[in-house]
Amino acid sequence: MKNRLMVALDVADRKQAQNISQSLADDVGWFKIGMRLFVAEGPDLLRQVLQTHRVFLDLKFHDIPNTVAEAVASAGQLGVQMTNIHAVGGPDMMRAAASAASDFPHMKLIAVTVLTSDPMPPEQAKTEAVRRAGQAKEAGLDGVVCSVHEVAAIKQACGDDFLTVTPGIRWGSQSVDDQQRIADPATAIATGADYLVVGRPILRADDPRIAARQAVAMMSDAFSPSTAGC
Ligand code: C5P
C-alpha cells in the first residue's frame, strides 16, 4: 500500500523537503512535488528525491497546446514517473501533451478533472469529472486526478486501467482545510482509487511518520475481512 501513497511535499524549501522526505523514506513510495517547492528549489532537488523515490511532478500545465507539450517533454526528460495537465485545457491541448509524453514511456500523464477544492455541487462535479476524464482518455492520457467520490463513475466510463489519483484525503478529526470533496484512506482504496495524495494531514502531524503509517494501515484495512464487500 505504501506504493499507492503519494505524500505532497508542499513545503517552503530544500531543508524542509529533505527533513520530511528522509523521515518518511521507508514509509511511502512516492513524493509529489508541486508548484511551491518546484518554484522555490527547481529541478535539482527533484532529481535528488528521484534517487530514492518515485516522483509525481504536479504543476498542472494549462496553456496553448505547443507550450504544454514542450513542458510535458521537459518533465519526461527530468525522469519523473508522473506529471499532469488541466483537462479544461481541452482536447487539442491534451492530445498534444499525450503525444509529447509518448516519447517517455516511464512517465504517466494524467489530467486534473475538477479540483477537490472546487465548491461545485457534488453531483455536478461528478458529471463534469466523468466528461473531462472521457476527453482525457480519448486524447491518450493515462488517467486523471479526481476526488474519491468520482472514482467509481470514472472507472465505469473509462475502464479499470484508467488511473485515478485522489487528493482530498482526510481521516479522524483532521481539518478539512480548503478541500471540499474529501474521503478517508480506506474508502479511497475500497472505491478503487489507484493512488492517494496526502499533504497537510501528514505534513502538519505531530509525528509525520506515524500519520503516514496510519494512512497506509487504513489503506490496508480496505481489504481486511471485516470491511471486505463494503
Ligand atoms: O494538504 P492536502 O492533503 O489537502 O494536499 C493535497 C495536495 O494535492 C496539494 O498538493 C494540492 O495541490 C494537490 N491537489 C489537490 N486537488 C487536485 C489536484 C491536486 O488538492 N485536484
Q: How many domains does the chain have?
A: 1
Angle of helix 91-101 versus helix 122-139 axis, rounded to 10: 50
**Chain segment 56-112, per-residue pLDDT in tens:** 999 999 999 999 999 999 999 999 999 999 999 999 999 999 999 999 999 999 999
Contact assessment for residue 155 and residue 164, using Cβ atoms and an 8 Å cutoff: yes
Atom in ligand 1 nearest the alpha carbon of residue 35? 12
- CATH code of the domain in which 71 resides: 3.20.20.70
The grid cell for 100 is 509529447
Domain that holds residue 209: 2-224
**Quick check: is 14 in a domain?**
yes
Instruction: Report the pLDDT value the prediction gives residue 225, as an integer from 0 to 100.
Output: 55
**Quick check: is 6 in a domain?**
yes
Instruction: Report the pLDDT value the prediction gives residue 230, as an integer from 0 to 100.
Output: 36
With vertex at residue 8, the alpha carbon angle to CA 53 and CA 218, rounded to the nearest 5 degrees, is 90
**Chain segment 159-187, per-residue pLDDT in tens:** 999 999 999 999 998 899 998 999 999 99
**Quick check: is 230 in a domain?**
no
- Does residue 222 register a pLDDT over 70? yes
**C-beta of 132 in contact with ligand 1 (< 6 A):** no
* Residue found under cell 487528493: 167
Query: DSSP strand E in the chain: where?
Result: 5-8, 30-34, 54-61, 82-86, 108-112, 143-145, 163-166, 195-198
Atom in ligand 1 nearest the alpha carbon of residue 203? 1
**Quick check: is 229 in a domain?**
no
Give 158's Cβ-side CA count (13 Å radius): 27
**C-beta of 89 in contact with ligand 1 (< 6 A):** no
